[in-house]
Amino acid sequence: MRRWLAVIVVFAVSGCGLFGPEKLSGDEVADKVRSFFVSTAGAEAKSVTCEGIDATVGAEASCTAIDLDGRNWPMTAAVTNIDDDRVSYTPRFDDRVIDNFTVQANIARALEVKTERYYKTVTCTGIHKLVINTTRTCTVTETNDNVWNVDYTITDTNGGATVTLQDSVLYAGTLEPIVEHLARELSLQYRLATGFFPRASASCANMLRGRAGEAVHCTAVLADMSSTDVTIRTTKVEFDKIFFELFPDNAPDLSLGGWHLADPR
On whether the CB atoms of residues 129 and 96 are closer than 8 A, the answer is: yes
Per-position pLDDT tens, the chain of length 265: 444 555 454 444 333 444 455 778 888 889 889 989 998 888 899 999 999 888 788 889 999 999 988 999 999 999 888 877 777 778 999 999 998 889 999 999 999 999 999 999 999 988 888 999 999 999 999 999 999 999 999 999 888 999 999 999 999 999 999 999 999 999 888 888 776 778 899 999 999 999 999 999 999 999 999 999 999 999 999 999 999 999 999 999 989 999 999 999 9
- The conformation of residue 15, written as its DSSP 8-state character, comes to S
The predicted pLDDT at position 10 comes to 46
The predicted pLDDT at position 11 comes to 41
Long-range contacts of 229-234 (CB under 8 A, 24+ apart): 230/179, 230/182, 230/183, 230/202, 232/175, 232/178, 232/179, 232/204, 232/208, 234/208, 234/209, 234/210
Prediction pTM value: 0.80
Listed residue (59, 48, 47) closest to 21, CA to CA: 59
The predicted pLDDT at position 216 comes to 97
Listed residue (207, 221, 257, 206) closest to 236, CA to CA: 257
On whether the CB atoms of residues 113 and 105 are closer than 8 A, the answer is: no
Q: Where are the beta strands (DSSP E) in 94-191?
A: 97-98, 121-123, 128-129, 135-141, 147-154, 161-165, 169-170
DSSP result, 184-211:
HHHHHHTT---SSS---EEEE-S-EESS
For β-strands 215-221 and 201-204, DSSP reports them as antiparallel
Q: How many CB atoms lie within 10 A of CB 118?
A: 11
